[in-house]
Amino acid sequence: MKPFAIGLMSGTSVDGIDAALVRISNLAGKPSISLEHALFDAYREEERSRIFAAFSPEFSAHQLGRLNVDMGRWFARAVERLIRESGVSPNDVRVIGSHGQTIAHYPPNPANTENGYCIQIGEPAVIAALTDIDVVSQFRAADMASGGQGAPLVPYFDYAMLRSWDEHRVALNIGGIANITVLPRGVTLENVIGFDTGPGNMVLDGLVELVTNGARHFDRDGGLARQGAVDTPLLAQWLKNPYFLRKPPKSTGREMFGLQYCRSMRQDARAHAVSDADLVRTATALVAESIARGIGSQISEPIALIGSGGGIKNPVLMEELQNRARLLRPWESATAYGIPSDFKEAVAFALFAWQFSEGLPTNVPRTTGAKRTVMQGSWTPARPGTKLYVK
């Protein structure tokens, strides 16, 4: 049996592709996972610009179609490099799980019964053709077709890898959007709660680009925020955003907290006579406070906080969070639990693709709001006559 799966992830920060080669086996119904090799394949500036252009309503169907195919090539490029560096034969890789690049995410509107939708690109047929490996993609669609948010997807992985009988835990990922998985001690899968708490790096990156006129794409080591102070009235104003008050299931994205939102934040700061450094520091506090409130809305007892994603590299952000959340001990990286924090989501999509090939559902209805559990993904075979590995 082919023992390996590959996971591919391109997130809302649009900095590049995370690729992870994972060895997986199912033992007594529980997945056993070990990371064999991982890499980050940064987008070229021209590639990144094209992706950002796709977020605009003016982006044409022709441009989107071309970008979809080209992104399939970029994902395949990352796979080829991963296999080359690892020394593993492509013949030993059962499946690739590709998250794709989210271009639009519109979860169901609580006010009506219409299903939500998500547009994710990175043509799986191109990935399969160039790598000669079967691909599972479009992981959100089945959950959304069943009335769910299609996000967050990672709670299934967090439950499989991080649950505890001894302590309450919260798995936090800070990418462009921040999301949590709440894991009370002894929790069962059907009772796992997870949701997007609100913006993560997206607003911090966007504001830094605005105040530096594009000279900097992010606040390295929280350097700009460190120079400023939190403006309490401005923070209180931002926390009135209806999303923070909404009860889960809930998910969000660039549509709510993208460039237009960052521009409005900067206008608010000017109205309050707040400096650029204070603006970034207050936005950093917003991310931390929204995460802390999200955790506190679900569990009142002290928790072990397990962090991943690019946001945990921002020491100012994590200091703000450490001071605002009720923790058993100082927060820890997922790496301390055997899950490389930089590649957690890529590893998760390798697992999701593997479980799809086993015929197993991976959504958590209480988390997404779906009416039922579903197999998440669409299968694209690399060669005629290949069969899905369903038991």
Q: Model confidence over 143-189: pLDDT tens digits?
A: 999 999 999 999 999 999 999 999 999 999 999 999 999 999 999 99
Is the confidence at residue 28, as pLDDT, over 90?
Answer: no
**Assigned token pair, 129:** 């053709």
Cα(337)–Cα(355) distance, integer angstroms: 22
Q: Model confidence over 287-327: pLDDT tens digits?
A: 999 999 999 999 999 999 999 999 999 999 999 999 999 99
Q: What's the pLDDT at 13?
A: 86
**Assigned token pair, 206:** 């966007």
DSSP symbols for 30-71: EEEEEEEEEEEEEPPHHHHHHHHHTTSTT--HHHHHHHHHHH
Contact 207, 280 (CB under 8 A): yes
Q: Tell me, rounded to whole angstroms, the distance of Cα 338 from its chain centroid.
A: 19
* Confidence grade of residue 389 (pLDDT, cut at 50, 70, 90): low
Q: Tell me if domain 4-153+343-380 and domain 168-327 are identical in fold.
A: yes
Q: Tell me, rounded to whole angstroms, the distance of Cα 64 from its chain centroid.
A: 22
Task: State mean pLDDT over 35-59.
Answer: 95
Q: What's the pLDDT at 26?
A: 72
Q: What are phi and psi of 101, to 5 degrees?
A: -110, 120
Q: What's the pLDDT at 341?
A: 94
Cα(382)–Cα(19) distance, integer angstroms: 19
Is the confidence at residue 32, as pLDDT, over 90?
Answer: no
Helices (H), 239-343: 242-245, 254-257, 259-271, 276-296, 315-324
Cα(16)–Cα(361) distance, integer angstroms: 28
Superfamily of domain 4-153+343-380: ATPase, nucleotide binding domain (3.30.420.40)
* Confidence grade of residue 109 (pLDDT, cut at 50, 70, 90): confident
**Domain limits of the chain?**
4-153+343-380, 168-327
Cα(245)–Cα(268) distance, integer angstroms: 20
Cα(36)–Cα(33) distance, integer angstroms: 9
Angle between the 344-357 and 155-162 helix axes, to the nearest 10 degrees? 100
* Confidence grade of residue 234 (pLDDT, cut at 50, 70, 90): very high
CATH number of 168-327: 3.30.420.40
Contact 11, 175 (CB under 8 A): yes
Give the predicted TM-score (pTM) of the model: 0.94
Task: State mean pLDDT over 56-75.
Answer: 97
Tokens 């009988």 found at: 165
Q: 58-66, long-range: CB within 8 Å, 24+ apart, which pairs?
A: 64/103, 64/121
DSSP symbols for 319-377: HHHHHHS-BSSS-EEGGGGTS-GGGHHHHHHHHHHHHHHTT-----HHHH--SS-----
Q: What's the pLDDT at 386?
A: 77
The closest of 343, 348, 377, 339 to 360, measured between CA atoms, is 377
Cα(194)–Cα(180) distance, integer angstroms: 5
Task: State mean pLDDT over 52-71.
Answer: 96
* Confidence grade of residue 391 (pLDDT, cut at 50, 70, 90): low
* Confidence grade of residue 29 (pLDDT, cut at 50, 70, 90): low
* Confidence grade of residue 6 (pLDDT, cut at 50, 70, 90): very high
Q: Model confidence over 243-297: pLDDT tens digits?
A: 999 999 999 999 999 999 999 999 999 999 999 999 999 999 999 999 999 999 9
Share of the chain above pLDDT 70, in %: 97
Share of the chain above pLDDT 90, in %: 92
Q: What's the pLDDT at 383?
A: 85
Contact 325, 295 (CB under 8 A): yes
Q: What's the pLDDT at 100?
A: 97
The mean pLDDT value of the chain amounts to 95
The C-alpha R_g of the chain, in whole angstroms, comes to 20
**Assigned token pair, 302:** 């002290």
310, amino acid identity: G
Q: Among 19-33, 195-209, 218-232, name the one with the lowest average pLDDT.
A: 19-33
Is the confidence at residue 212, as pLDDT, over 80?
Answer: yes
* Confidence grade of residue 390 (pLDDT, cut at 50, 70, 90): low
344, amino acid identity: K
Task: State mean pLDDT over 190-198.
Answer: 97
Task: State mean pLDDT over 224-243.
Answer: 98
Which helix (H) or strand (E) segment is 128 a member of?
helix 124-131
- Helix/strand/coil for 198: strand
Cα(155)–Cα(378) distance, integer angstroms: 20
Is the confidence at residue 384, as pLDDT, over 90?
Answer: no
Contact 346, 8 (CB under 8 A): yes
Q: What's the pLDDT at 114?
A: 81
